[in-house]
Structure 1
Amino acid sequence: MKTHAAFLALLLCVVFPVSAQNGMNANKKAVINSVENHSDKLIEISDKIWAHAETAFRETASSKLLADYAEANGFTVERGVAEMPTAFVATYGSGSPVIGILGEFDALPGISQKAQPVKAPLEEGKPGHGCGHNLFGTGSLGAAIAVKELIKSGKLKGTIKFYGTPAEEKYFGKLWMAREGLFDNLDVCLDWHPSAETVADVQSSLALVDFTVEFFGEAAHASADPWNGKSASDGLELYTTGMNFLREHIKPTVRIHYHIQDGGQVVNVVPEYARVWTRVRDTKREGMLEVYERVKKIAEGAAMMAGVDYKISLVSGLHEVLVNRAGGTIMQKNLELLGPITYTKEEINFAKKIQEATGKPQIGMDSEIRPLEETKEHPGGGSTDVGDVSWVVPEIRLGVTTAPKDTPWHSWAVVACGGMSIGHKGMTYAAKAMGMTIVDLLEAPQKVEAVKEEFRERKGNAEYEAILPDGPPPIDGE
């Protein structure tokens, strides 16, 4: 009986090789091999970007590292696209399908950190990669290179485009790229983001609008003749007070944030100028715009009460992500093929020390591959300019574990993990998962069509228009 069973197992392996049984075909194996072959260089690039830690529109060295490596691997690179010196597009192949991959590389101010599990700035007050974008851009490029090699060898047909997208954390560089039509010729686009878990991402994000409100008054001596002054900061305070009273009367899905950028310079002068940066979010663009209009009226009322003038200036705005479950399903199957990331004892100890330092349960890493989630009508979380891309072209999204469970995001803890092996493992895993998903798309045109059909259904008659002021990106902005 055992002999018969063994013979049957051998026969199955001959007729249906293990790779065919589990879906890991030759092209997907080639993707994995490619990422592993390039891994040393990818980690080197990621670590250099981590060390540079360049913020919005200042990512000169980081952008160059990625663009140069794309060029060295046979891509045609167009630099400085959409009037942004650090934005670029790297292209290889010809014809359809045309698949895009997004890559980010900007850091966050003020959270510099060494690659160690206790808070210790690399350079006090300097930026750090608290969202893991050093991993994001590099991992995406690793996937693009793996697919490029298959196209070059004749194993796949189509075009692969890698997008170097700057300033996601502040100015949202993809908006200008979308306005320039740089995503218009894509059939499907992919992105990934560092996370505390590994998921095929089928959740939306929050739409937002960014704007500044300036108040203009008249200066006077704050003690000798304050009656001759008109306080711009009075206008600002009345404005923020009005927004805070509004919070009781908005839906739970709405978020309002503000940052006072200038409230006056000295205490003995009635300030003639004040400025506040405001952000309104909601799970749906329509809800966000409704609150935006109310907040603008609050600014007008505040200026009237203070007897000052005011000016509202749009900075930019984001669309919520248009979810694509057909694409998510393809990605999910590849995560299941790859299985969870495994960690060494040293990496788990590092993770637990991070959790201890941030007051979280010391449970280590979470890279379990769970079933594809149901899409929520009103998700929590943040916002991303990937949302705008998703209204132009179907977007397949991925989150991969690069930090311990419950780690505070945009913090020193994420910076620490992004500069060592926990982050490196997540980055190379993401490159494999995205590359394998692109293999599915290029091998099976019907899968591309299914993704595009869902996109058309979800988008309906909506016309995409970037929420941007006229003119070029604020390269020299504050």
Structure 2
Amino acid sequence: MKKIFLLLFLFSISSNIGAQKLGKNKQVVIASVEKHKENLIKISDSIWALAETAFNESKSSKVLADYAEENGLAVTRGVADMPTAFTATYGSGKPVISILGEFDALPGISQKAQPAKEPLKAGAAGHGCGHNLFGAASLGAAIAIKELIAEGKIKGTVKFLGTPAEEKYFAKVWMVEAGLWNDVDVNISWHPGAEIEADVQSSLSLIDFIVEFYGQAAHASSDPWNGRSASDALELYTTGINYYREHIKPTSRLHYHIQDGGQVVNVVPDYAKIWVRVRDPKRKVMLPTYEHVKKMAEGAAIMANVDYKISLVSGIYETLVNRTGGEIMQKNLELLGPITYTEEETTFGKAIQKATGKPEIGMDSKIHQLKETEENPGGGSTDVGDVSWNVPNINLRVTVAPKGTPWHSWAVVACGGMSIGHKGMVHAAKAMAMTMVDLFENPKLIEKVKEEFKVRKGDEKYEPMIDGPPPIGNN
């Protein structure tokens, strides 16, 4: 009955969002993004070159916060007990529309802005998820709205949130706990991708935890019987995980990363450490799997006759979709139209595809239609999910790399440091600013977005999956 009601509700709201035209305020925010474009590209390129990882993004965060401050937004740094997290706000009263900006990089995938694999700095990090573009585009949209408020053309508050450590640790969970979205009516977000669409798909819920095994060291040859091997426990544990994979839901995922399996071959290791991750499109499915995998650690410790300790890192919810917001975003994408690429950019894109073994079809620049929301989507996870369970979230995906490009790879880093990435960033900034204009101008749209949020959330009580302060010093 609940599903029938939801379908009827979604049909009614979708038919009520009328055709839009490129009104004056939308023309103004587009012009604002164009005005700031060169500076936004410089910011993005600076963050791209810095390539700072989770909770180390001191310079990247400063670049964004400084530019927000220069443009009249009130900046508060170090929010939620995280030195690289910040807010930048302008205006007063309702509505309050927030927008997310990420800026952390991924370890070990440094790359020059070229279509052949070659690190910018050997062993360094790189922006293989386009977060250098993410933060800059969102700030550009926030500044465009700030200028409209300052000119008295709209009323309310715009709130940019600089959110660190999305690739590891998921800082937004602590930011939610700190109440940074308590006054927000609607949140806007985007993510770099390989096509342009209003994103109405969920993500995978996830939980991260560390298992440590403690044994007794001994000489591996002269008296191994005096040793109790922590690495034996670790190997037994990973064997159990690998056998268990056959018996979990097809939608679920289990990953692990061995962080310490012993230091030398001639010592029975007395310490071992493994990072484990469990995922599923539904948190209620993921949690029982998590509990069972924890029990398996105890079993491994018993078999190896060692002690063990489990520490929660953090966990995140799946994204709560909002199709009403998606339709608003979709109409603005259609107003903007596709991205146009030069011959050189198309050649660059095809070279990336060739280098990564993909069909050489170039860039996908068209505006994709709004898709049906899948019950169990594949893909990755994001701490935007936790935001979306606390405030309605409207999400966007924009092309910054050629079709089929492996994500979290050198190929995305290459595109994010040149004009293909820049064009996607500017396009995203315009689309998000235009969508915020709709929300500021039409309070009824906000109410419709909120109504869907309430229906989809139902009686689910949000419970953050963290235990203690942000793990700032764990890098």
2:474 pairs with 1:474: no
**1: CA distance between counterparts of 2:464 and 2:20?**
42
Task: Give the aligned residue type for 1:60.
Answer: S
Give the 3-state SS of the residue equivalent to 1:213 in structure 2: strand
Instruction: Note the 1:326-337 alignment, pairs <5 A.
Output: 326-337=324-335
2:268 pairs with 1:270: yes
Determine which of 256, 259, 273 is the counterpart of 1:258.
Answer: 256
**2: CA distance between counterparts of 1:248 and 1:174?**
32
Task: Give the aligned residue type for 2:374.
Answer: K
CA deviation vs aligned residue, 1:110-150 (integer Å, no higher than 9, x gap): 00001011101100110000000000000000000001111
**2: CA distance between counterparts of 1:407 and 1:68?**
33
Alpha carbons 1:28, 1:436 under 8 Å: kept: yes
Aligned to 2:8: none
Determine which of 127, 130, 133 is the counterpart of 2:128.
Answer: 130
Aligned to 1:186: 184
Instruction: Note the 1:293-308 alignment, pairs <5 A.
Output: 293-308=291-306
Task: Give the aligned residue type for 2:365.
Answer: S
Give the 3-state SS of the residue equivalent to 1:190 in structure 2: strand
Alpha carbons 1:316, 1:468 under 8 Å: kept: yes
Aligned to 2:89: 91
Task: Give the aligned residue type for 1:163.
Answer: L
Identity over the aligned pairs, expressed in percent? 71
Aligned to 1:13: none
Give the 3-state SS of the residue equivalent to 1:439 in structure 2: helix
Structure 2-normalised TM-score? 0.96
Deviation at 1:22, TM superposition (A): 5.8
Aligned to 2:51: 53
Q: Which runs of 5+ in 1 are unaligned?
A: 1-19
Deviation at 1:238, TM superposition (A): 0.5
**2: CA distance between counterparts of 1:21 and 1:268?**
73
**1: CA distance between counterparts of 2:298 and 2:231?**
14
Determine which of 432, 435, 442 is the counterpart of 1:434.
Answer: 432
**2: CA distance between counterparts of 1:52 and 1:214?**
33
Task: Give the aligned residue type for 2:354.
Answer: E
Give the 3-state SS of the residue equivalent to 2:29 in structure 1: helix
Aligned to 1:461: 459
**1: CA distance between counterparts of 2:259 and 2:114?**
33
Give the 3-state SS of the residue equivalent to 1:102 in structure 2: strand
Give the 3-state SS of the residue equivalent to 2:398 in structure 1: strand
CA deviation vs aligned residue, 1:318-363 (integer Å, no higher than 9, x gap): 1000000000000000000001101000000000000000000000
Task: Give the aligned residue type for 2:111.
Answer: Q
Aligned to 1:381: 379
Q: Which runs of 5+ in 2 are unaligned?
A: 1-17
Determine which of 235, 246, 269 is the counterpart of 1:248.
Answer: 246
Alpha carbons 2:195, 2:368 under 8 Å: kept: no
Task: Give the aligned residue type for 2:473.
Answer: D
**2: CA distance between counterparts of 1:268 and 1:245?**
29
**2: CA distance between counterparts of 1:181 and 1:21?**
36
**1: CA distance between counterparts of 2:286 and 2:182?**
26
**1:434–1:225 distance in 2 versus 1, CA, 3 Å:** same
Give the 3-state SS of the residue equivalent to 1:47 in structure 2: helix
**2: CA distance between counterparts of 1:98 and 1:53?**
31
Give the 3-state SS of the residue equivalent to 1:101 in structure 2: strand
Rg larger in structure: 1
Aligned to 1:177: 175
Deviation at 1:465, TM superposition (A): 1.9
Aligned to 1:208: 206
**2: CA distance between counterparts of 1:227 and 1:394?**
59
Give the 3-state SS of the residue equivalent to 2:351 in structure 1: helix
Instruction: Note the 1:340-355 alignment, pairs <5 A.
Output: 340-355=338-353
Alpha carbons 1:179, 1:465 under 8 Å: kept: no
Deviation at 1:461, TM superposition (A): 1.4
Aligned to 1:279: 277
CA deviation vs aligned residue, 1:356-377 (integer Å, no higher than 9, x gap): 0000000000021121000000
Give the 3-state SS of the residue equivalent to 1:208 in structure 2: strand
Deviation at 1:394, TM superposition (A): 0.2
**2: CA distance between counterparts of 1:418 and 1:371?**
25
Alpha carbons 2:98, 2:159 under 8 Å: kept: yes
Deviation at 1:443, TM superposition (A): 0.6
**2: CA distance between counterparts of 1:314 and 1:449?**
37
Give the 3-state SS of the residue equivalent to 2:276 in structure 1: strand
CA deviation vs aligned residue, 1:20-59 (integer Å, no higher than 9, x gap): 9861000000011000000010001110010100000111
Give the 3-state SS of the residue equivalent to 2:101 in structure 1: strand
Task: Give the aligned residue type for 2:211.
Answer: V
Aligned to 1:68: 66
Instruction: Note the 1:108-187 alignment, pairs <5 A.
Output: 108-187=106-185
Deviation at 1:464, TM superposition (A): 1.3
Aligned to 1:370: 368
Task: Give the aligned residue type for 2:254.
Answer: I
Give the 3-state SS of the residue equivalent to 1:315 in structure 2: strand
**1: CA distance between counterparts of 2:132 and 2:380?**
19
CA deviation vs aligned residue, 1:438-475 (integer Å, no higher than 9, x gap): 000001000000000000111111121210012x2111
Deviation at 1:196, TM superposition (A): 0.4
Deviation at 1:316, TM superposition (A): 0.3
Alpha carbons 2:116, 2:355 under 8 Å: kept: yes
Aligned residues: 458
**1: CA distance between counterparts of 2:43 and 2:274?**
37
CA deviation vs aligned residue, 1:178-221 (integer Å, no higher than 9, x gap): 01111111000000000001110000000000000011111111
CA-atom RMSD in angstroms: 0.9
Task: Give the aligned residue type for 1:431.
Answer: A
**2: CA distance between counterparts of 1:28 and 1:366?**
25
Deviation at 1:392, TM superposition (A): 0.6
Give the 3-state SS of the residue equivalent to 1:66 in structure 2: helix
Task: Give the aligned residue type for 2:282.
Answer: K
Alpha carbons 2:20, 2:331 under 8 Å: kept: no
**1:26–1:240 distance in 2 versus 1, CA, 3 Å:** same
**1: CA distance between counterparts of 2:383 and 2:467?**
16
Alpha carbons 2:112, 2:120 under 8 Å: kept: yes
Deviation at 1:407, TM superposition (A): 0.2
Moved more, 362-371 or 92-101: 362-371
Aligned to 2:234: 236
Give the 3-state SS of the residue equivalent to 2:364 in structure 1: coil
Aligned to 1:14: none
